[in-house]
Structure 1
């Protein structure tokens, strides 16, 4: 059952970052079975891209997300300081 628990944890946004760990690791939102079934049913499959294009897109996403993550981390740290 551990992989299912891990997937559940990874898809929930964390209070300290504001994003889910899955998005940080893979650069996209996790897709459960219902998401995959819906996508296949609607036939809205994304076109494949090359490795270089994928890396460039990931770099751009990271550059856009990191300032937000830093902001969330600072706010979470301040909130934790106030609690203690």
Structure 2
């Protein structure tokens, strides 16, 4: 699992896996990014709508989350071409 979506108090949110140093910096620098809601707060972040997040940043964070999860899979279960993000 690399992404979770839900609503929190009527606001759409997205949880993404993130490397701990990167997660800490994002949480520190952006009000729209908080530690992962109902997740391991060191390895997950929660994104909420706001001016500090643009589409390109969200796309990069989603791609990074995917890559972190794929890196943790056994080789036999990894996609053949991680850049294409498709299964074997």
Please report the TM-score for the alignment, with normalisation by the length of structure 1: 0.32
Q: Between Structure 1 and Structure 2, which shows a larger proportion of helix residues?
A: 1
TM-score (norm 2): 0.31
